[in-house]
Amino acid sequence: MPTPRRAGAERAGPEANGGPQTAAGRPRSEEAHRAILDATLSLLVEVGYSALTVEGIAQRAGVGKATIYRRWPSKLPLVVEAFGDLPAFEEADTGGLASDLDRILRSYVRVYNTTPLGAVVPSLAGELPHNPQLMDLFAPVVKQRRQPLIRALHRAIERGEIPPDTDLDLAADMIVGPMTVRVFFTPGKLSPKIVPAMIALALDGLRRGGAAGSAGS
Amino acid sequence: MPTPRRAGAERAGPEANGGPQTAAGRPRSEEAHRAILDATLSLLVEVGYSALTVEGIAQRAGVGKATIYRRWPSKLPLVVEAFGDLPAFEEADTGGLASDLDRILRSYVRVYNTTPLGAVVPSLAGELPHNPQLMDLFAPVVKQRRQPLIRALHRAIERGEIPPDTDLDLAADMIVGPMTVRVFFTPGKLSPKIVPAMIALALDGLRRGGAAGSAGS
DNA sequence: CTCTTACGATACTATACGTCTCGTTCCTTT
DNA sequence: AAAGGAACGAGACGTATAGTATCGTAAGAG
């Protein structure tokens, strides 16, 4: 328990950012907010997650540590929110699954190669098995990110390109799996050269019902 | 530089474990060695890598911290060695690629479900992008682990089951990718039900040259 | 103009890594 | 059997970081 005497205690508390300040007083600086998120991302690129320190973020953003902890309860949610600000994958509706996949997967490669995504994803994934609340935080973001792919598969079913009983989540795992493995275990730039191979493999398999929901008996 | 005055300093140093003690004196306890590795694995299962502490390992193993640092220069190599002690995936040579994959992938599921592998791999992978020396440590172990799969693919090429220009590493990534994604983002037990789907998908794609080394134009 | 809150700064507590030094134990050599 | 040397468990120590608490100040709301 802290001393009952508190001078400038926060009222909004470290709940979800943007929690409305209940009443008058100096409003939270939107500028500081952005500076913190920007500093987090740029430091992630430079030093990686494990070497990321809150003091380093505060210093680069030009804010005090308390200003960070006033908005995020710990380092992890901050990184998760910064992660959510990274560019999304491209939406593609070209009329055919093959060309949709080509567009989408190439945007995966582009995003992985030009943002800290490749560094952040493994770091956060490594925490998942033992941090259920991070799971709650992270799952919707991951789900959101794969929507373009899910929607492309959905349209392919409607066009009759792949079997109607295809398990969309499993199919999506199969399509992005190879790329994900490379991102995790082969740090460095991802070559766009693997995209055609991934598409050829996935397309053939999917058309033949390789990801049918009932395949597992 | 330490003080020149040293009472009971180690001579073998923290090099590769098993470095021969050069001369007389009390030999290193093999019992302590195993207790440390076992404690490392069991703690990994319980608290995960990020919450793993050397002091905790020492306490559970019933040894002093110095006994750990006498063998491993830091926490990372210790974890990597403990990781290397996990059971390998099954070797399968049944005469056909489909049945080989079935055996191998089912052993993947079994190992993931009965050992801490699913918790350790994401944790370590998360450190990779910004820790080159862990990369050097970890890469050979990972390579070793996928040999049964690589050999099965190699035999499939010799039998003419898949195109001779198949890129073995890429093909292996494609086969284990979906399962890996699920291990990383969906903690919990892996269902063997996805194995047939994975095989159907991969096999079709591979036979048609989906992982040809030249596919990328 | 005043009140309230956020601000940057910084001291503080707690924890962990990795180093070092104890006194003790136990194997090897003579 | 005796002596010596190295590893042993224990834990103090220095450094670094997470996260908390408190300062005096700045700034918007009423």
Q: Is pLDDT above 90 for A14?
A: no
Q: Over pLDDT 90: what percentage of chain A?
A: 41
Q: Which nt sits closest to A9, CA to C1'?
A: C5
- Average pLDDT of the segment spanning B165-189: 87
| CA–CA dist A92, A100 (Å, integer) | 5
Q: What are phi and psi of A166, to 5 degrees?
A: -65, 130
User: What's the pLDDT at B22?
Assistant: 53
Q: What percent of chain B has pLDDT over 70?
A: 85
How many pairs of residues across A and B have Cβ atoms under 8 Å apart?
A: 181
Q: Indicate the pLDDT class of residue A200, thresholds 50, 70 and 90.
A: confident
CA distance B113 to chain A (A): 13
How big is chain A, counted in residues? 217
CB proximity under 8 Å: B 161-200 to A: 167, 170, 173-174, 176-182, 184-185, 187, 191-198, 200
Pairwise CA distance, residues B189 & A112, whole Å: 29
According to the model, what pLDDT value does residue A213 have?
62
* Residue in A170, A173, A201 closest to B210 by CB: A201
Q: What pLDDT does A54 receive?
A: 93
Q: Is B214 on the interface with A (CB under 8 A)?
A: no
**Mean pLDDT within B205-215:** 65
Identify the residues numbered 40 to 99 in chain B whose C-beta atom is closer than 7 Å to any atom of strand C: 51-56, 65-66, 69, 73-75
Strand D footprint nucleotides (protein C-beta < 7 Å): 4-12, 16-30
Specify the range with the lowest mean pLDDT, choosing from A16-20, A179-183, A192-196.
A16-20
* Pairs from B18-25 (Cβ < 8 Å, separation ≥ 24): none
Least confident of A106-110, A166-170, B58-62: A166-170
DSSP for A163-186 reads -TTB-HHHHHHHHHHHHHHHHHHS
DSSP string over B75-137: HHHHHHHHHHTSPPPPP---SSHHHHHHHHHHHHHHHHHHSTHHHHHHHHHHHGGG-HHHHHH
Whole-angstrom Cα Rg for chain B: 21
**What residues in A contact B202, CB-CB < 8 Å?**
201, 205, 210
Q: Chain A partners of B187 at a C-beta cutoff of 8 Å?
A: 128-129, 135
pLDDT of res. B16:
40
Residues in A closer than 8 angstroms to B50, CB to CB, are 126-127, 130
- The arithmetic mean of pLDDT across residues A190-206, rounded, is 80
CB A124 within 8 A of CB A136: no
Q: Give the closest residue to D9 (Cα–C1′).
A: B64
Q: Are A209 and B200 in contact (CB under 8 A)?
A: yes
What is chain A's mean pLDDT, rounded?
82
Phi, psi of A212 (to 5 degrees): -60, 140
Placement of tokens 């919707």 in the chain:
A140
Residue nearest to nucleotide D5 (CA to C1'): B25
B residues 26-65 closer than 8 Å to A (CB): 47-51
Half-sphere exposure of B87 (CA within 13 A, CB side): 13
Other Cβ atoms less than 10 A from the Cβ of B196: the count is 19
Amino acid at B202: A
Cβ–Cβ below 8 Å for B201 and A128:
no
| Nearest residue to C9 via alpha carbon and C1' | A64
State mean pLDDT over B181-207.
82
Predicted confidence at residue B202, as pLDDT, reads 76
Contact between A86 and A117 under an 8 Å Cβ cutoff? The reply is yes
Question: What integer pLDDT is reported at residue A58 of this predicted model?
Answer: 95
All structural domains of chain B:
30-84 (1.10.10.60), 97-207 (1.10.357.10)
Contact residues for A153 (Cβ-Cβ < 8 A; gap 6+): A97, A162, A166, A168, A171, A172
Q: Across chain B, what does the average pLDDT equal?
A: 82
Query: Are the Cβ atoms of A197 and B167 closer than 8 angstroms?
Result: yes
Collect all residues of chain B within an 8 Å Cβ-Cβ radius of residue A184: 125, 128, 180, 184
Whether the per-residue pLDDT at A177 is higher than 80: the answer is yes
Query: What average pLDDT does range A137-144 have in this prediction?
Result: 88
What kind and span of H or E run contains B156? helix B147-158
Q: Flag whether pLDDT at A88 surpasses 90.
A: yes
Tell me, what's the pLDDT at A75? 87
Q: Report the percent of chain A where pLDDT is more than 70.
A: 85
* b/e map B35-69, b = 16+ CB within 10 Å: bbbebbbebbeeebbbebebeebbebbebeeebbb
CA dist B106 and B110 (Å) reads 6
> pLDDT band at residue B123, thresholds of 50, 70 and 90?
confident
When pLDDT is averaged across residues A6-26 and rounded to a whole number, the result is: 48
Q: What is the pLDDT of residues A128-138, one digit of tens each?
A: 877 777 888 88
Closest chain A C-alpha to B172 CA, distance in angstroms: 9
A210 Cβ contact list (under 8 Å, min separation 6): A174, B197, B198, B200, B201, B202, B204
- Residue-wise pLDDT for A22-76, tens only, equals 567 789 899 999 999 999 999 988 888 878 899 999 999 999 999 999 999 988 8
Amino acid A184 reads: F
